[in-house]
Chains A and B, each alone.
Chain A
Amino acid sequence: MSAVIEKIEIYEKNKTTWTHLDALESEAIHILREVAAECNNPALLFSGGKDSAVVLHLALKAFFPETLPLTLLHIDTEHNYQEVLDFRDRVVKRNNLKLVVRSVGESIRQGRVRLRYEGEPRNKYQTITLLDAIREHNFDVCIGGARRDEEKARAKERIFSFRDEFGQWDPKNQRPEIWNIYNTRVADGENIRTFPISNWTELDVWEYIQREEIELPEIYFTHQRDVVIKNNLLVPVTSLTPAKEGDEISRMSVRFRTVGDITCTAPVASTAATIEAILLETAQTQVTERGATRLDDQTSEAAMELRKKEGYF
C-alpha cells in the first residue's frame, strides 16, 4: 500500500508558517468534504469566473487524488464572452470533469423566462433556469463561489444557506451555524447553497490564484477593448451592447474584475498583464468589486437581497 504513495517524490519540509490563505483553504476543504460526505447529489456552480475557478481548484484538492464526487453546473446566460466559455471547456476537458450546461436562452425559448425587452440583462433570470436544472437533476446542494465581502446581503448569509422548495432564501430565519458543525439536512425538493469561500476577500482570491497558479480566462488581464463611458462605468461595445447614436467610443486598455452577463458587467481601466500587477491594483483600489463593475446592483439598496430571496445564487 505504501509503495503507491511513495511514487510522488515530493516531500514537503515541515511547515514553518501558516498563513491566512492556509487557514481559508483548510476551512473551504473541510466544507467541501462535508458536502460530498453528507449530500446525495451535489453540483458545483461553475461559470468560468475567477471565484468559481478557485472553488473548483479547492474541490480538486479536497478530494485529491480521487475524481470529483460532484457535477459541474453552468447556468449560461448566452451572454458570455467566448474567452470565458473556451476556458470553461478547457478546464473541464483537462480534468476530465462532468459538466451540465443549462441556458437561460433555452428557458426563454421554452417560455419559462419572459424578457421584458429584447437584450434585457439575463442575470436575474438565471434563477429560473437554475431552479429548473436543480429539479431536473435532483441536485440537493449547489456549491457556489459567492463571498461575503462582495455585497451587504451576502455578508449576512450562512456558509450552508437553506432554500425552500420555491428556491427562496429567508434572511430573517437562517439556521444557526455553530462552530464548524454544519447541518446539511434538507427535505425532498428543498435545496442548500454552500459557499466554501464565504470568508475570502477579493484580495485573498487573487493572492490564492497567484500562489496556486490557477488558470483564468484571458479577459481578466489587460487587453484592448472598445468601450463607452457611462456613469463612470466602462460599458463594453459588443454585438449585444452596440454603441447607440451619439455614444463616444474609446479604445482602452481594460480588464474585467468579474465576468458575468455581457450586458451588465463592465471592465475597469487597467494595464495589469500579470497577477502581480492585479494584486497591486486590488490593494490600491478605491471602489469595491461590484461597485466598479456591476450595472445590476446599483438599482436599489437591496437589489441583491431581493434577488436572493427569489432563489438567486
Chain B
Amino acid sequence: MPMNNPINVSGLLRFITAGSVDDGKSTLIGRMLYDSKNLQVDQLTAVEASSKKRGMKEVDLSLITDGLLAEREQGITIDVAYRYFATPARKFIVGDSPGHLQYTRNMVTAASSADLAIVLIDAESGVKTQTRRHLYLVHWVGVSHVLFAVNKMDKVGFSEDVYQKIERECVELAHSIGYSKIHSMPVSALDGDNITSRGDRLSWHEGPTLLEYLEQAPTVQDLLHLPFRFSVQRVMRLNRQNIQVNSGFDGADLRGYQGLVVSGEVRVGDEVIISPGGHRAQINSILGASRRLVDSALTQESVTLFLDQDYDVSRGALFTDVNNPMLSSNEFNAELCWFDEAPLDLSRTYLMKQMSNATRVRLKAINELVNVETLERTSDHLSMCMNDIGQVSLKTQTALSFDSFKRNRGTGAFILIDEVSNRTVAAGTIE
C-alpha cells in the first residue's frame, strides 16, 4: 500500500538501551561515544578523574552517562540521560534508561520517544526477569524495532555456542511478547568488540557491527502510511491588532488551526472530518513551519491549517481523513502502566490527556494485571500499584475520538493526571 516515501527521515535515529541492571547499558553507550570519537577531551578527562577517585585502574565508561549526584553515589542509573552523537551517516539521540524496577516510569519515559531499543543481555546469565520486564514495556510503549545485544562476550570466552543459545532464548521471548522480527548480535561493551569494529575474537559472527547496524536501522515511518490525523493544539484568531510586523498578512479576520500532523498526509483541497461534531470541511491552505504556504503536510510536521468554513473548533479537536474516520466512544478498554506511589483509586476521577485533548475519566474496573516477568495474566488481584501494568475499563466525561494503539500510536495513547497533586500517575494504550 505505501507509495514512494517522499520523506527522508533517515537523518535522525532515536534509540534507547534497555536491559537488566548491570548488563552494561551505560558502559555500552560510553563505549559507542568513545569509539566513534564523539567524546570531547574535557569529558574524557573528567571521567578519567572520577574513575581514579573511585579507585579504578581503567576508565569507567559508564560514568559518562550517570549525571546525578545520587547516581554517582550509588553507582546506578536513576533517570534517563540523553546523549547525542553523530557519524557521517546519521545523527543519534540515545537514552540511557534505568534498569531498576522502582524507576520503571523513567525507563518508559526513555522508551516512549525511541525508534529502536537495544536490549542488553549478559552472556553469562542470559535472559533475566528484568529483561522480560523491559522488553514488555518497550513493546507496550510502542517501540517498533528491537536489537538484542548479547554483552560481556569477553566473560564467556567469545563462545559462539553460548551466543547462539541466548539468541534462541531472545527470539522465543520476543515472539511471546509480540515482536515478529528482531535482530541480535554479540558484543563486548567493556572491550569494544563488535561496537565500531569487529575485532578478532568475534570473527565467527556474520553481520554488521553495532554502529553499522545503527547507521542503517529503520526509523519510524509507519505513521506516515496511516490515515490522516491532525490534532488541534491552538486556535489562532487573527485580527488587525495581533499580526507580526512584516508578516505579509494584512489583518483581515482569519482563523487558523495550529497543530501537529499525527499520522498520514494532508493536501490543500482535501476534505476532512472535524471531531467532535462530525462536520466536514475542506483544507483551504496549509501554512508550514517555514512560514510559507505549502501544498501538503506530512506526519510529524507542525503546521497551521485553514478551512473553507468556520466551525466551532477548539483545542483538542481532530481533523481526520473522511474515508478512514476514527472510533468514537466514552467507554473503552486500555492497557495501563501505573507510575505513582499512590495506587489507582477507582472511586476518583482523573484527568486524561490524549494528544492535545483533555477530559475527565473514571476507571470503572481493573480487568486483569500482567505479571511482566512471567507474562502471565491474572484477574484475581485487583489493585493497581506503582509499576503495575494491566487492562482497565474507562469511562470518559465526553466522548473520545481515537484509534486503537496497535493501529496508531499517536491517537491511541494517553496519560492520566491526578488533578489534586498534578502528578502524571499513569500512561495508557487504547485497545
Q: Which residues of A contact B (CB under 8 A)?
A: 1-2, 4-5, 7-8, 10-12, 14-20, 22-26, 29-30, 33-34, 36-37, 60-67, 94-96, 148-149, 152-153, 155-156, 158, 171-172, 174-181, 183, 185-187, 198-199, 201, 203-204, 285-288, 291-292, 301-302, 305
> A5–B289 contact, CB under 8 A?
no
> A174–B233 contact, CB under 8 A?
no
Which residues of the partner chain B approach A285 to less than 8 Å between Cβ atoms? 40
Which residues of the partner chain B approach A185 to less than 8 Å between Cβ atoms? 351, 417, 419, 422
Q: Which residues of B contact A (CB under 8 A)?
A: 6-9, 11-12, 40-43, 46, 50, 65-70, 72, 78-84, 86, 91, 93, 105-106, 108-109, 112-113, 141-142, 233-234, 236, 238, 242-245, 247-250, 252, 254, 258-260, 284-285, 287-296, 298, 300-302, 304, 306, 308, 315, 339, 351, 353-356, 409-410, 413-415, 417, 419, 422-424, 427
A-B contact pairs, 27 of them (CB 8 A): A4-B252, A5-B306, A12-B294, A14-B295, A14-B296, A17-B7, A20-B11, A20-B12, A25-B289, A30-B233, A34-B233, A64-B247, A65-B248, A66-B244, A94-B245, A96-B244, A155-B65, A156-B67, A171-B70, A171-B78, A174-B106, A176-B109, A176-B415, A176-B424, A178-B413, A185-B419, A291-B41
> A67–B233 contact, CB under 8 A?
no
> A100 vs B400: C-alpha distance in the bound complex, in angstroms?
41
Which residues of the partner chain B approach A292 to less than 8 Å between Cβ atoms? 42
> B356–A37 contact, CB under 8 A?
yes
Minimal Cβ-Cβ distance residue in A for B237: A66
> B300–A23 contact, CB under 8 A?
yes
Which residues of the partner chain B approach A65 to less than 8 Å between Cβ atoms? 238, 243-244, 247-249, 291
> A26–B300 contact, CB under 8 A?
yes
In the assembled complex, the CB of A180 is this many whole angstroms from the nearest CB of chain B, namely 7
> A47 vs B307: C-alpha distance in the bound complex, in angstroms?
38
Which residues of the partner chain B approach A22 to less than 8 Å between Cβ atoms? 289, 301
Determine which of A12, A66, A174 lies in contact with B236 in the assembled complex, contact meaning CB atoms within 8 Å: A66
Given contacts A17-B7, A23-B300, 9 further A-B contacts (CB under 8 A): A12-B292, A30-B302, A33-B233, A152-B67, A153-B68, A156-B81, A179-B413, A183-B424, A287-B41
Which residues of the partner chain B approach A149 to less than 8 Å between Cβ atoms? 83-84
> A64–B291 contact, CB under 8 A?
yes
> A15 vs B298: C-alpha distance in the bound complex, in angstroms?
9
Which residues of the partner chain A approach B42 to less than 8 Å between Cβ atoms? 287-288, 291-292
> B302–A33 contact, CB under 8 A?
yes
> B40–A178 contact, CB under 8 A?
no
Which residues of the partner chain A approach B66 to less than 8 Å between Cβ atoms? 152
> A181–B414 contact, CB under 8 A?
yes
> A153 vs B354: C-alpha distance in the bound complex, in angstroms?
30
> B285–A2 contact, CB under 8 A?
yes
> B81–A155 contact, CB under 8 A?
yes
